[in-house]
Amino acid sequence: MSKIKPSKGAPYARILGVGGYRPTRVVPNEVILEKIDSSDEWIRSRSGIATRHWASPEETVTAMSVEASGKAIADAGITADQIGAVVVSTVSHFKQTPAVATEIADKVGAGKPAAFDISAGCAGFGYGLTLAKGMIVEGSAEYVLVIGVERLSDLTDLEDRATAFLFGDGAGAVVVGPSDEPHIGPTVWGSEGDKSETIKQTVPWNDFHLGDVSRLPLNERGEVKFPAITQEGQAVFRWAVFEMAKVAQQALDAAGISAADLDVFIPHQANMRIIDSMVKTLKLPEHVTVARDVETTGNTSAASIPLAMERLLATGQAKSGDTALVIGFGAGLVYAATVVTLP
């Protein structure tokens, strides 16, 4: 017989507060068109994106996260020193170590919580939310701060016609805490590593550091390009439209609800065509509010779901207590979907 005492966590967990931060600089498609042969009409028709936000040098991954986190903590009605863990999903913090979560935890005044980064691309918020739920139910933390943050402008090849218009910067955060009722459903998540080449960084950091020109992409002037995100657009589109709708349905089934029971749908803000196709495949009723934040924010990877959630609540398009299906998917290829009650 085990001598270990059982954990004393909460019976369930829920999202208690949400906050977002968008950089002050708004970048219209006209700026993107200065470097690529395309048109505003083409960009809008292919992605639905009209503008995106790009961070200034001062709007670092840490600075944006602290701003979003402060709003989420205030919205949750707790103090920062009550946070027992900080989970940050990002692919654009360029220090291998230490984790940026430790710096963020200190700057928000969280004391000495567990703090770590995860790399799960556009599914990172869902991964972080699932980890937070587990910590609360297990009893290792009472409140968990989950952050999705990206400065993807640093990883954008502005001469790549296929991706130059896609990415934006920003941070979204939620506070997850204890609940007497289930407000975060079972997570349906996974990976398809055989498709990992469809979304990737152009070259590893060590190749770039060594400076072997024969191994590195060059621009038209023969200069070495900084590593950037590239993707096989059609392959990613087909995967997202056909496979992720199945995952979304599995998350509904796992939560024991149907599409008709939903109030809100918050998919990863990758592409308007993908969002509209998923809505059609899932046969969502007209009463379901669909997040389309991608139009003015672009693809912010791990930050996209909490940013979209924050905007829906701030504009009154969604309200506290609504039932929402959230799903993230991207590089890896990885995915995570769950049903939540909005804070």
CATH number of the structural domain spanning residue 113: 3.40.47.10
Verify that 157 and 190 share a domain, yes or no. Answer: no
Verify that 45 and 167 share a domain, yes or no. Answer: yes
Verify that 121 and 263 share a domain, yes or no. Answer: no
Verify that 31 and 126 share a domain, yes or no. Answer: yes
Verify that 164 and 78 share a domain, yes or no. Answer: yes
Verify that 136 and 191 share a domain, yes or no. Answer: no
Q: pTM of the entire structure? A: 0.94
Task: Per residue of the chain (343 residues), give pLDDT as tens.
Answer: 889 887 889 899 999 999 999 999 999 999 999 999 999 999 999 999 999 999 999 999 999 999 999 999 999 999 999 999 999 999 999 998 999 999 999 999 999 999 999 999 999 999 999 999 999 999 999 999 999 999 999 999 999 999 999 999 999 999 999 999 999 999 999 999 999 898 888 777 777 666 555 666 666 665 667 788 888 888 999 999 999 999 999 999 999 999 999 999 999 999 999 999 999 999 999 999 999 999 999 999 999 999 999 999 999 999 999 999 999 999 989 999 999 999 9
Verify that 162 and 60 share a domain, yes or no. Answer: yes
Verify that 16 and 116 share a domain, yes or no. Answer: yes
């009722």: which residue's tokens?
A: 181
């912010």: which residue's tokens?
A: 300
Residue type, 88: V
* 3-state SS, residue 338: strand
Residue 246's pLDDT is 96
Residue 275 lies in a domain: yes
209 is catalytic: no
Residue 327's pLDDT is 98
Residue 333 lies in a domain: yes
- Round to whole Å and give the CA distance between 120 and 128: 9
Tokens (6 digits) for 79: 């103090």
> Which structural domain, as residue segments, surrounds residue 32?
12-180
What is the torsion angle, in degrees rounded to the nearest 10, for the CA atoms of residue 249, residue 46, residue 33 and residue 59? -10
Residue 15's pLDDT is 98
Residue 214's pLDDT is 60
Residue 205's pLDDT is 73
Verify that 26 and 70 share a domain, yes or no. Answer: yes
Residue 119's pLDDT is 95
Catalytic residue among 122, 183, 219, 287: 122
R_g of the chain, CA atoms, integer Å? 20
Verify that 175 and 280 share a domain, yes or no. Answer: no
- Round to whole Å and give the CA distance between 14 and 259: 21
Catalytic residue among 53, 93, 183, 268: 268
Residue 251's pLDDT is 98
Residue 200 lies in a domain: no
Residue 85 lies in a domain: yes
122 is catalytic: yes
Please tell me the total count of domains within the chain: 2
Residue 191's pLDDT is 96
Catalytic residue among 29, 93, 183, 299: 299
Residue 213's pLDDT is 58
Residue 98 lies in a domain: yes
Residue 209's pLDDT is 65
Verify that 53 and 156 share a domain, yes or no. Answer: yes
Decide which of 156, 180, 204 is a domain's last residue.
Answer: 180
Residue 94 lies in a domain: yes
